[in-house]
């Protein structure tokens, strides 16, 4: 997060970020059987990227949630990949 904050986003980042995150997430679970099984073990439960221990930046609230605030897109992607 700290390193990412020092780098400017590409101009089309907001249009591409969901597609790229899903692609990277699929690749991560395709390569790691242990993680794949842990994800499958969540069955049909809702997955939430809990950001309680992070500052509530607009970008972090896009990917996760603090309490009832946030979009939880990483959680949605994980449920789709599952």
Domain hosting 71: range is 15-81
- Whether residue 63 contacts residue 71, with contact meaning beta carbons closer than 8 Å, is answered with yes
Q: What is the mean pLDDT of residues 11-35?
A: 96
Q: Which of 22, 13, 8, 30 is nearest to 77 (CA)?
A: 22
User: N- to C-terminal Cα distance for the chain?
Assistant: 25
In a domain, 69, yes or no: yes
51 — pLDDT class (breaks 50, 70, 90): very high
pLDDT beyond 90 at 19: yes
Q: Which of 19, 77, 24, 25 is nearest to 48 (CA)?
A: 77
In a domain, 1, yes or no: no
Q: Which of the residue ranges 30-44, 45-59, 62-76 would you say has the lowest mean pLDDT?
A: 45-59
In a domain, 6, yes or no: no
In a domain, 7, yes or no: no
Number of domain units in the chain = 1
- The pTM of this model reads 0.84
pLDDT beyond 80 at 56: no
Reading phi first (left if > 0) and then psi (alpha if -120 to 50, else beta), residue 25 is in alpha
């Amino acid at each position: 997060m700290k390193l990412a904050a020092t780098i400017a986003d590409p101009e089309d980042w907001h249009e591409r970020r969901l597609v790229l995150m899903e692609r990277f997430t699929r690749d991560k679970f395709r390569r790691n059987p242990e993680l794949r099984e842990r994800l499958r073990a969540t069955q049909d439960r809702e997955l939430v990227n809990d950001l309680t221990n992070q500052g509530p930046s607009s970008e972090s609230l896009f990917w996760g949630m603090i309490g009832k605030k946030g979009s939880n897109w990483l959680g949605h992607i994980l449920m789709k990949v599952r």
